[in-house]
Amino acid sequence: MAAMQAQIQALLAAVGTRGGTATGSNTGAHMEVAKPAIFNGEAGKVGGFISACKLYIRNRMRGDTVEGQVQWVLSYVQGGSADVWKENVMEEIEAGEVEYESVEEFLTILKREFGGGEEESVKAAELRKLEQGGRTMEEFVQEFKRAARESGYEGRPLIEEFKRGMSGGFKGS
């Protein structure tokens, strides 16, 4: 046991002499962060788009101005009903009619515009269709959690949907 602890300490010391990062690490300023997919206004995709934008902004645009962050998000809003909305927002910004306090405020407005109650019904339908199938229980639980967010389900109905979706079901209350 003492030999293993000595090896761990030696490895930690070696890592420490290289600036605290292991070779080939993917952390800090050099971390790769995926950019969001183009958002065209589909209600079922607004949540994922916003999550991807938040992740990128937090990791790569932390020091940018709010206006710069909002403009960056708008550059990924293209096609469908989103184009008209984007043009309206850009005109309002350029005319000085609107100024966002934070990018979170802007993303909340975007979600309200494209998500609304329709997103909740899409999430609820997705949750009702979800089944474990060939996935491991861990994979099923993670997918279920993702689908359950913003589905409107909670408490006993949520538990019943979880049990229904498990392979082989779950008998008992």
**pLDDT of res. 10:** 64
**Residues 110, 122: one domain?**
no
**Residues 100, 124: one domain?**
no
Residue 74: which domain range? Answer: 38-114
Residue 10 lies in a domain: no
Residue 43 lies in a domain: yes
To which residue do tokens 């910004």 refer? Answer: 93
Encoded amino acid at 150, one letter: E
Whole-model pTM?
0.56
What does the block give as tokens for 133?
């199938």
Which of the residues in the chain have pLDDT under 50? 17-27, 171-173
**pLDDT of res. 122:** 72
Residue 107 lies in a domain: yes
**Residues 49, 81: one domain?**
yes
Encoded amino acid at 83, one letter: D
pLDDT digits (tens, 9 = 90+) for 14-52: 555 444 444 444 445 567 899 999 999 988 788 899 999
**pLDDT of res. 4:** 61
**Residues 102, 54: one domain?**
yes
Number of domains present in the structure of the chain: 2
Other residues' Cβ atoms within 10 Å of the Cβ of residue 123: 22
- Give backbone dihedrals phi and psi of 157, rounded to 5 degrees, phi first: -60, -35
